[in-house]
Amino acid sequence: MSNDIICLGKSTLDLIWPLESLPGKGGKFIARDFIQLGGGMAATAAVAVSRLGRKVAFYGRAGDDAAGHAMLDELAGYGVDVSQFRLFPNARSSVSGILVDKEGERAIANFRGADIPDEAHWLDLDDVAQTHAVLVDVRWKEGAVSICAKARAHGIPTILDGEIADLDIYDALLPLVDHAIFSLPGLRSYGGAVTNHLQILQKVREQGCKVAAVTMGAQGCLWIDDNGVQHQAAFGVNVVDTTGAGDVFHGAYAVALAEGKNTVEAMRFASGVAALKCTHYGGRAGIPDREEVDAFLAEQFC
């Protein structure tokens, strides 16, 4: 059975040690806990899609090592189809070690992984024509270009999570993407010398994107489409942890598009899901299910 949505891109593993305070120098420190969590934009978006009740696959790559298997098992545990999450022998997965103090301040050491092949010829794209939306991030250019080209050929909507990346990735991807939704740092890096957000979004539209958007945390989401400049406010919630809010926003937006919602409806739905995520700890454990989202949105006036 085919999936409603395919998410392609980054998967990482975070190893987290909560401490009383961050070390100022070397030594041995007792952690209050130890937490191992999968991360990565497209991978966490896939978990959000699954939590919202849609069938989803994650297409990606990592090393055939302990971290790779941990990521794969976690995604599968969330109900994500991992048949095209490939673990490469002799390659090493991306892993972060994170020390976090009582105030939530973090010291992060990231290993980006090694010897993971860039080429995407092994991807089986036969299922793309049967899906209802494709979401990619900026961390695997070759894979994203292949799947977006195939989706475009079949009229399947494509969504991009625009985080900070080299310009050549945007030059390759934007002409194949229908909905380019940047984070604020991602938009600024793409804009370069242009600092006005609306001007940068206009530049994104000129690459062929129907919707050019930027999420701005508690300031909500701003976008330009054929109807002009529009804004969705962030919902007021009791914020506990914003980790993964952007990833979850993108997954929820893909769900909305796959269900035939228009851009205004999709932005509102994604904002509601992301806001509810912020009321819980953790990028994935805090993702709400459909019932919670529907009940929450029914009570909102914006």
Ligand X SMILES: Nc1ncnc2c1ncn2[C@@H]1O[C@H](COP(=O)(O)OP(=O)(O)OP(=O)(O)O)[C@@H](O)[C@H]1O
Q: Which does 217 bind (CB under 5 to 8 A by kind): Mg ion, ligand X, none?
A: ligand X
Smallest distance from Mg ion to CB 13, Å: 18
Smallest distance from ligand X to CB 51, Å: 15
Asked whether position 98 contacts ligand X by CB under 6 A, the answer is no
Among 99, 135, 147, 278, binds ligand X (CB under 6 A): 278
Q: Which does 239 bind (CB under 5 to 8 A by kind): ligand X, Mg ion, none?
A: ligand X
Contacts of 195 (CB under 8 A, 6+ apart): 188
Q: What is the secondary structure of the chain as a DSSP string?
A: ---SEEEEE--EEEEEEE-SS--SSSS----S--EEEEE-HHHHHHHHHHHTT--EEEEEEEESSHHHHHHHHHHHHTT-B-TTEEEETT-B--EEEEEE-TT--EEEEEE--BS-----TT---GGGGG-SEEEEESS-HHHHHHHHHHHHHTT--EEEEE-S--HHHHHHHGGG-SEEEEEHHHHHHHHTT---HHHHHHHHHHTT-SEEEEE-GGG-EEEEETTEEEEEPPP----S--TTHHHHHHHHHHHHHHTT--HHHHHHHHHHHHHHHHTSSSTTTT---HHHHHHHHHT---
Asked whether position 137 contacts ligand X by CB under 6 A, the answer is no
Asked whether position 282 contacts ligand X by CB under 6 A, the answer is no
Asked whether position 183 contacts ligand X by CB under 6 A, the answer is yes
- Segment contacting ligand X (CB under 6 A): 25-33, 164-172, 189-197, 235-243? 235-243
- Segment contacting Mg ion (CB under 5 A): 47-55, 106-114, 244-252, 268-276? 244-252
Among 40, 60, 143, 246, binds Mg ion (CB under 5 A): 246
154: left (phi over 0), alpha (psi -120 to 50) or beta: alpha
Asked whether position 234 contacts ligand X by CB under 6 A, the answer is yes
Residue closest to ligand X (Cβ): 246
Interface mask (CB under 6 A) for ligand X, residues 197-226, using x and -?
------------------xxxx-xx-----
Smallest distance from Mg ion to CB 246, Å: 3
282: left (phi over 0), alpha (psi -120 to 50) or beta: left
Asked whether position 247 contacts ligand X by CB under 6 A, the answer is yes
Distance CA 10, CA 60 (A): 6
Among 84, 131, 183, 189, binds Mg ion (CB under 5 A): 183
With CA atoms as reference, report the closest residue to 106 among 17, 30, 217: 17
For Mg ion, the closer CB: 88 or 235: 235
For Mg ion, the closer CB: 7 or 91: 7
- Segment contacting ligand X (CB under 6 A): 141-149, 165-173, 232-240, 256-264? 232-240
Asked whether position 96 contacts ligand X by CB under 6 A, the answer is no
Asked whether position 273 contacts ligand X by CB under 6 A, the answer is no
Asked whether position 12 contacts ligand X by CB under 6 A, the answer is no
Which residues of this chain interact with ligand X, rule CB under 6 A?
A: 183-184, 215-218, 220-221, 234-235, 237, 239, 242, 244-247, 249, 271, 274-275, 278
